[in-house]
Amino acid sequence: MKIKVGFGFDVHQLRAGHPFVLGGVKLDHHSGAYGHSDADVLLHAICDALLGAANLRDIGYHFSNTDDRWKGISSLVLLQEVVKLLSEKDWRIGNIDAMVCLEAPKINPHIPAMKKHIADAIAISEEDISIKATTNEQMGFIGREEGVVAYAVCLIEKDTNKLYAPQPNIIS
């Protein structure tokens, strides 16, 4: 078995009157994350962690913010596309651990729904997804509710017994 880990980070501005989608769940809040897609900062960090672990570059490389195909799209779709890329290389997800940093709204009540949306989208167990939240103690752009940040780490696995391994040339 071969395993790799990946790290992801994402940040988005918060804008008044804009929808706030986090982990595939629309939150009721006076402002929301702004971006080319639905600006789901949590899913973007998870995508980058998965892509990084598999050495497949980053989310911007695969889903450019200048490509109209991704304009307004659900980041759950982007996550599914990332998992397809991993699957093509025989990787499967072991687990995902994520942290969201924002002052408001409180996301703890929404974490079970976020885990369900993610698990359903990429066919892994909710037990293999951890989502946590913290504030920035009212400091900086996060503390002023101008932005939201997410971090993610993941573990991916590949069964090396199924793969062809070239045999070394024996020199006699």
44 is in an annotated binding site: yes
| Residue 60 known to bind ligand | yes
pLDDT 10s digits, 67-104? 888 888 999 999 999 999 999 999 999 999 999 999 99
What is the rounded CA–CA span in Å between residue 100 and residue 75?
16
Token pair listed for 10: 């994402």
Residue 48, Cβ neighbours under 10 Å: how many? 24
Alpha carbons 170 and 168: distance in angstroms, whole number: 6
- If we measure between CA atoms, which residue out of 118, 119, 127 comes closest to residue 42? 118
Average pLDDT, integer, range 125-130 = 98
| Residue 34: strand, helix, or coil | strand
The reply, when asked if residue 136 is annotated as ligand binding, is: yes
Residue 121 has pLDDT above 60, yes or no: yes
Name the band, by pLDDT with cuts 50, 70 and 90, for residue 110: very high
pTM exceeds 0.75:
yes
Domains, the chain, in order of start with CATH, read: 2-160 (3.30.1330.50)
